[in-house]
Structure 1
Amino acid sequence: MNVERRRTRTIAYFSMEIALESPLPTYSGGLGVLAGDMLRSAADLGLFMVGVTLLHRKGYFSQRLDKEGRQSEDPMPWRVDEFLHLTDGTCQVEVEGRQVTVRAWRYLITGASGAVIPVLLLDTDLPGNDPYDRTLTDHLYGGDQRYRLCQEVILGVGGVRILRALGYTLIFRFHMNEGHAALLALELFTEAFKQMPQRRQDAIDLVKRLCVFTTHTPIPAGHDQFSLDLAQRVLSPDQWEALQALGCCNGSLNMTFVALQLSNYVNGVTKRHSEVSRALFPNLAIGSITNGVHSATWTAPPFRALYDRYTPDWREDSFFLRYALGIPLDAIRQAHDEAKQSLITEINRSANAAFCRHAFTIGFARRATSYKRPDLLFYDPDRLRQIAARYGPLQVIFSGKAHPKDEEGKDLIQRIFRWAKELAPDVKVAYLSNYNMELGLLLTSGTDLWLNTPQPPYEASGTSGMKAAHNGVPSLSVLDGWWLEVPVEGVTGWAIGSRDSGTVFERRDDKDAEELYCKLEEKILPLYYGDPLRWAELMRFTVALNASFFNTQRMVQEYVTHAYRDR
C-alpha cells in the first residue's frame, strides 16, 4: 500500500456488506452489490477512496431448496487468505465492557484507470478475544439484536479506529451506506464532545462536515432499531454519554436517526425514494442520487465484445453506451443469442428444466420477500396458459434467497414451486438456488424480458433491471424505484401502472396482474414473435438510453458533485 495515498484526502466508504466478487460471500444482495459497484466505479474514475466492511467468515448463507421449494440454510465458510491480505493494523473496541481486538484484511479493486481502491474487512476472530466476540464478524445479518448491535459497533467504531491505525489520517468524508454504519458518526461525535462538552452544537457541526449518509429503506420498519437498555449495555460509557447528549433517541436507538443527525449530506437512492424519505423524516433535507450498476461488471461477455468493437471507450466512460445506437441489429441479436444460450445451458444443467433457447424467457431474480410480489405473474394461471398457447412458448426463471427469519418469503418460494408443477408443460417455470453475482449476470443477460412487480412505494431503487439493460434486455415493471425515471414506454420496456403520483402507492394485485397480462398479450409477445428486427431495435434503445445513464459512473460523479464537495 502506498503510504502517500493515505496522506491524500480520502473518502472512507462504510457498508455492512460489499460484493467484491462472486465466490466471496461478503454480501447478501442489492445493498452489497451496489456498494461493490460504487467502489469499482470510484476506482475507474481514480478517486481516493477506501472501503470498510466486516469479514463475514461464514457469509450470509448457502441456500438449499428441496423438491417442494422448502429453503434451508447452511454457513458459507471460505478461505480468507486465498482472496485477502492481512494488514499490520489492529485496534481496540469496547463491547459490553469487554476490550475486543479488531484487525483488518485487505482486498484491492483495480479500476479501468489503473487506480487501486483498498477495501478493509474487519475481523475479530483473534486469540485473546472473548469466544463470543470472536464470532462477531462471522455471519452477515445473523444472530439476535445483541449480535447485530455488537457487529455495528465493530463496523462503525472499529472502522474509524482501524483506519487511523493503518495511517489514514486525512479522511475527507465518511460515507455511511445505510444505517448499519451509523456508529462511525457516533464515534466521531464522542471524540468531539469529550473535547468540547459545553459546546454540543459545535461538536455536532464538526462531525456533520465529515459525514455523508445514504438511506436505502423506504419504510420505518426497515431501519435498524435497538432498545436503549441494550444500547447502554453494549456501548462504552463515553459513547452512551455522547448518545444521550446527541438527543436523537426517542425510546430506542434508531441508527437512521443517528446518521441523519450527524450528516451534512443525506440522500435517497431514487427521486421517488427521496420523496418517501422526506415524508418519513419531515423537516430534513434529503437529496436524491439514483443508483446505478458497474457497466463492465454487469455486461455479459458477448455484449462486452460487441461494445469493445463499436463503442471502444465504454469501459472508461459508460456514457459511450449512448452510441450503441450505431450497432447493427443483427449484431445485437447474435450477442443476445449467445448470452441466452449460456443461461439456458445453466438452467437445464442445474434444474433439469428442459428450457428451450427459442422460447420467450422471462426473468425474475431478487430477494424473496412479500412486497416484491414474485407470484403476481401467477395471479390467473389459466390466463397465463392461454397467452402461451396463443402467442408462443413461454418460460419463466426465478432465483433469490429468503432471509432465514422471513417465513412469508420462504412460503413464496414454495408457492412458485407449486405453480411450476401446475403449469407444466404449458408454461415452463424453474427456480435456481443460491442467487449470486455470477448467476445474476447469467440471468440479467440471458432472459428476453426482465419482470419487476414490487408493491409501491417499497422499492427504494432496484438495480437488477439496470443490469438487464446493459445487455439489451427490456423490463416490464411496476412504476416504482428507478423505473419511474425511465423515459419512454415501448422503447426500452413497459410499465405496469400510471406515472400519475396518485396511483403509485398501494396498488391492487388484481389490477396489476391484469395490466401485466395485457402488456404481454397486446405489446410484448406479438412484437417478440412477430417482428424480430423491431425487437432487436428495442434492445438497442435499451442499451443506449437506459444503460448509458443508470450506471455507477454517473452515480459516483453525482456523489462527487453533491455529497463530497467542500461546503
Structure 2
Amino acid sequence: MSSKYNQWYHPYTPAKKFSKKVAYFSMEFGIDQALNIYSGGLGFLAGSHMRSAFELKQNQIGIGMLWKYGYYDQNRNEDQTMKADFTEKHFDFLEDSGLEVEIKLHDNPSVKVRAMVLKPEIFGTVPIYLLTTDVQGNDHLSRTITNHLYDSNEVTRVSQSIVLGLAGAKIVEALGGADVYHLNEGHGLPAFYYLRDQGVKKSQMVFTTHTPEKAGNEEREARFLNRCGFFGRNLSNDELSKEAVNGGMINYTVSALRMAKKSNAVSKLHAKVSQDMWKDFKGVSKIIPITNAQNQKFWQDDKIKKAAKTKNAKAFTKRKTELKSDLFSEVYMQTGKQFDPTILTIIWARRFAGYKRADLLLFDIERFERLISNEKYPVQIIWAGKPYPFDYGAIDSFNYLVNYSKPRKNITVLTGYEIELSKKLKEGSNIWLNTPRITREASGTSGMTAAMNGSVNVSTNDGWIPEFVKDGKNCFVFPEVDHNLPSWDQDRLDSESLYDILENKVLPTYYDSPKKWQEIVFNGIDDVLPEFGSKRMATQYYKELY
C-alpha cells in the first residue's frame, strides 16, 4: 500500500494564492452517487466544495465520516408508502490511509479510529479522509458509532461528534497539521476544544453556520458532554461554567462562534438572520456572508450548457425533451405513470422538513384540483425527498402525498432521493418549486443546480434567492409575507401567491409565449453562473475566511 496518504498530499503543486493548508471538517460529503454517505444539502454543498478545491488546485483536505449504513435507503412498503432500509455499504475505491488514532470516549480509555482515504483521482476531489470506528480491537459498542449518519440515540450522536472532531483533529496532526481548521457546521466542535489545548491559535480556526433552525443548532448539557469526553479532557466545573450558556448547556454553534477567529453564514440574508440570532452571546466572532454554491462541471448537463452559450433554442428544447424522457422512465418504473415530455413539469424535491412545506401546493385542495385538471394548460407534478428516518411527522406528510397522488395520473412521488435522482430531477424539470417559510432556509442550493439545467425557479424570497432574483425575467418569486405571522396565515398567503403565479404567469408564458419562456430559461442559466458556481465560493473562502 502506498504511504503517500500518511502525509499531507496532493497530486498537484497547490496554486500560490491557495497555498495555506486547510482541513475542512464535515459530518457528511455528497460527492457521487457511488459514495452514498450523506443526507442532503449540507453534504451536496461539501461535495461541490471539495470538487472545486481540486479544480482550483487548493491546498485543502476533507475530514469526514465513513458511515457503514449511510443515511438510509429510501424504499417503499407494499402500499407504496415510505420505508427506511439500512443496508451495509461497500466502497472498494476507498484506500486505507494507514493512519489510526486513539480517543477516550465515555468510560472507554481507548477507542481506535481509522482513516480511509478517498483519493483525488476517483471523483476529482481533494483528498478526503473518512473516519471509522469499525476497527478490529474495538468493543462492539465502539464499532457501531460510525454505523448511521445522525443516529437517533443521543449518546451515539455525541460520540459521532467526538470522533469527527477529536479523532479528526488527531488525524490532521498525524498528517503534519494544518494552517486553518474549518468546521462546516457545529458537528465537529470537539476539534476546536482539542486544538485549543494543543496551542493552535484562534486565528487558525474558522466556522460555517448553516441553519437558522433550532434543531440544527445542537445544544446539550455541559456536564453530560464532559462525561462523554467531548472536550478532549475532563473540564473542571469552573471551566464548564465558562463554556456554558442557557443555564448549563453547551450550544455547539455558540461555542464554535466564540472559538473561531471568523465565521460565515451561507447567504447574505442568512448572515443578517444569524447576526440577529446570536447577538446576545458575549464573545462571538464576526459572521460574514459567503453564499453557498454548487459545482458546475458535475451538475450541469453539457448539451444544455452548449445550447445556452449559443442561445440555441432548438438545441435546448431537443436536449430538454431527452432529459425529461429520461426522468419520466424513472417515473414509469417507480409508479407505472406515463408522463409526457411536452407538458410543463413542476418538481418539488429536497429534504422533507416541516418549514420547507412540501404540501403547500395542496393547501387549497379545490384550487389544486383545478390546476391539475386544466386541459388548456396541462401540468405534471413530481415530489421527491428524504425525511429524517425517525421524523414521523415528515414521513406522514410524505405518505399523504403518496396516497393523494396514487389515483391521479399527472402527479406522483418518487423515492430514492440521492445524487443520481436529484440530477435527473433538475435536468428534467421545467419548474423548480421552492417553498420554505421566509428566513428559515439558510441558503438552499438545489435551485442553483436546477437553474444551471434550464429549470425555472418558482420560490419564496428566501436563502440565496434574493441575490439571484429578477422576478419574471430569470425566475418567479412570491411576494414576501411577514415571517412573524402565525404559520397558518403565512401558508395561506403563500399558497395564494403560488396558485396565482402558476395560473397567471408560468402556465400562460410556457404554452402561449414559448419565445418569452425560452428567454427566462436562458436568463436563469446566465445569472446563476458563475456567481453560484462553487469555484467562486471556494475562492471566497480562501480570500475572506482563511
Normalising by structure 1, we get a TM-score of: 0.88
Distance in 1, matches of 2:146 and 2:237, equals: 24
The equivalent of 2:500 in structure 1 is: 518
Contact 1:364–1:452 (Cα < 8 Å) also in 2:
yes
Displacement of 1:255 in angstroms is: 1.3
Contact 1:90–1:104 (Cα < 8 Å) also in 2:
yes
Q: Using the TM superposition, name which of 89-98 and 66-75 deviates more.
A: 66-75
Distance in 1, matches of 2:448 and 2:209, equals: 19
Code of the residue aligned with 2:113 in structure 1: it is V
Partner of 1:240: helix, strand, or coil? coil
The equivalent of 2:323 in structure 1 is: 339
The equivalent of 1:220 in structure 2 is: 214
Match of 1:137 among 146, 150, 153: 146
Displacement of 1:421 in angstroms is: 3.6
Contact 1:173–1:211 (Cα < 8 Å) also in 2:
yes
Code of the residue aligned with 1:408 in structure 2: it is G
Match of 2:256 among 256, 259, 273: 259
Q: Is residue 394 of structure 2 the alignment partner of residue 397 of structure 1? A: no
Code of the residue aligned with 1:126 in structure 2: it is V
Distance in 1, matches of 2:139 and 2:76, equals: 35
Cα deviations by residue, 1:391-446 (Å, 9 ceiling, x for unpaired): 32211111111112211101111111232146x24xx1111111000000000110
Code of the residue aligned with 1:94 in structure 2: it is K
Distance in 2, matches of 1:504 and 1:175, equals: 37
Cα deviations by residue, 1:47-79 (Å, 9 ceiling, x for unpaired): 010000010011111112236553222113111
Distance in 1, matches of 2:237 and 2:431, equals: 49
**Alpha carbons of structure 1 residues 419 and 183: separation in structure 2 relative to 1, 3 Å:** same
1:439-450 matched pairs, under 5 angstroms:
439-450=421-432
What percent of counterpart residues are identical? Answer: 32
**Alpha carbons of structure 1 residues 35 and 243: separation in structure 2 relative to 1, 3 Å:** farther
Code of the residue aligned with 2:404 in structure 1: it is W
Q: Is residue 298 of structure 2 the alignment partner of residue 330 of structure 1? A: no
Code of the residue aligned with 1:168 in structure 2: it is G
Contact 1:186–1:239 (Cα < 8 Å) also in 2:
no
Q: Using the TM superposition, name which of 467-476 and 281-290 deviates more.
A: 281-290
Distance in 1, matches of 2:97 and 2:312, equals: 50
Contact 1:266–1:286 (Cα < 8 Å) also in 2:
yes
Code of the residue aligned with 1:265 in structure 2: it is K
The equivalent of 2:135 in structure 1 is: 126
Cα deviations by residue, 1:203-254 (Å, 9 ceiling, x for unpaired): xxx5321111000110333211222232122117863328953722121222
Contact 1:220–1:280 (Cα < 8 Å) also in 2:
no
Contact 1:269–1:460 (Cα < 8 Å) also in 2:
yes
1:191-202 matched pairs, under 5 angstroms:
191-192=198-199
The equivalent of 1:296 in structure 2 is: 297
Contact 2:383–2:412 (Cα < 8 Å) also in 1:
yes
Cα deviations by residue, 1:486-517 (Å, 9 ceiling, x for unpaired): 2311111100123x888899661111111111
Partner of 1:335: helix, strand, or coil? helix
Distance in 2, matches of 1:243 and 1:342, equals: 60
Contact 2:226–2:235 (Cα < 8 Å) also in 1:
no
Contact 1:41–1:552 (Cα < 8 Å) also in 2:
yes
Code of the residue aligned with 2:118 in structure 1: it is Y
The equivalent of 2:24 in structure 1 is: 13
Cα deviations by residue, 1:175-214 (Å, 9 ceiling, x for unpaired): 100000111101111223xxxxxxxxxxxxx532111100
Q: Using the TM superposition, name which of 393-402 and 227-236 deviates more.
A: 227-236
Displacement of 1:22 in angstroms is: 0.6
Q: Is residue 117 of structure 2 the alignment partner of residue 106 of structure 1? A: yes
Code of the residue aligned with 2:215 in structure 1: it is A
Partner of 1:18: helix, strand, or coil? coil
Distance in 1, matches of 2:511 and 2:20, equals: 55
**Alpha carbons of structure 1 residues 129 and 480: separation in structure 2 relative to 1, 3 Å:** same
Cα deviations by residue, 1:445-473 (Å, 9 ceiling, x for unpaired): 10110001111221111011101011011
Unaligned runs of 5+ in 2: 14-18
Contact 1:471–1:543 (Cα < 8 Å) also in 2:
yes
Cα deviations by residue, 1:466-489 (Å, 9 ceiling, x for unpaired): 010110111100111111222311
Code of the residue aligned with 2:186 in structure 1: it is G
Distance in 1, matches of 2:28 and 2:477, equals: 31
**Alpha carbons of structure 1 residues 242 and 93: separation in structure 2 relative to 1, 3 Å:** farther
Q: Using the TM superposition, name which of 256-265 and 386-395 deviates more.
A: 386-395
Displacement of 1:88 in angstroms is: 1.1
Displacement of 1:137 in angstroms is: 1.2
Q: Using the TM superposition, name which of 138-147 and 244-253 deviates more.
A: 244-253
Distance in 2, matches of 1:542 and 1:457, equals: 23
Distance in 1, matches of 2:359 and 2:9, equals: 50
Partner of 2:383: helix, strand, or coil? strand
Q: How many pairs are equivalent?
A: 525
Code of the residue aligned with 1:300 in structure 2: it is D
Q: Is residue 301 of structure 2 the alignment partner of residue 277 of structure 1? A: no
The equivalent of 1:168 in structure 2 is: 176
1:494-509 matched pairs, under 5 angstroms:
494-498=476-480, 508-509=490-491
**Alpha carbons of structure 1 residues 95 and 530: separation in structure 2 relative to 1, 3 Å:** same
Contact 2:461–2:478 (Cα < 8 Å) also in 1:
yes
The equivalent of 1:385 in structure 2 is: 369
Distance in 2, matches of 1:30 and 1:505, equals: 27
Contact 2:111–2:138 (Cα < 8 Å) also in 1:
yes
1:345-384 matched pairs, under 5 angstroms:
345-384=329-368
**Alpha carbons of structure 1 residues 404 and 155: separation in structure 2 relative to 1, 3 Å:** same
Distance in 2, matches of 1:463 and 1:455, equals: 16
Distance in 2, matches of 1:240 and 1:542, equals: 53
Match of 1:46 among 36, 57, 65: 57
Q: Is residue 115 of structure 2 the alignment partner of residue 91 of structure 1? A: no
Contact 2:190–2:231 (Cα < 8 Å) also in 1:
no
Code of the residue aligned with 1:26 in structure 2: it is I
Distance in 2, matches of 1:511 and 1:137, equals: 44
Code of the residue aligned with 2:259 in structure 1: it is L
**Alpha carbons of structure 1 residues 125 and 502: separation in structure 2 relative to 1, 3 Å:** closer
Distance in 1, matches of 2:236 and 2:185, equals: 21
Partner of 1:52: helix, strand, or coil? strand
Normalising by structure 2, we get a TM-score of: 0.91
**Alpha carbons of structure 1 residues 287 and 236: separation in structure 2 relative to 1, 3 Å:** closer
The equivalent of 1:410 in structure 2 is: 395
Partner of 1:128: helix, strand, or coil? coil
Match of 1:467 among 430, 449, 452: 449
Partner of 2:181: helix, strand, or coil? strand
Q: Using the TM superposition, name which of 220-229 and 181-190 deviates more.
A: 220-229
Cα deviations by residue, 1:348-397 (Å, 9 ceiling, x for unpaired): 12221221111111011111121111111112232233234253221111
Contact 1:44–1:111 (Cα < 8 Å) also in 2:
no
The equivalent of 2:16 in structure 1 is: none
Distance in 2, matches of 1:240 and 1:215, equals: 27
The equivalent of 2:243 in structure 1 is: 248
**Alpha carbons of structure 1 residues 505 and 445: separation in structure 2 relative to 1, 3 Å:** farther
**Alpha carbons of structure 1 residues 534 and 371: separation in structure 2 relative to 1, 3 Å:** same
Cα RMSD of the aligned pairs, angstroms, is: 2.3
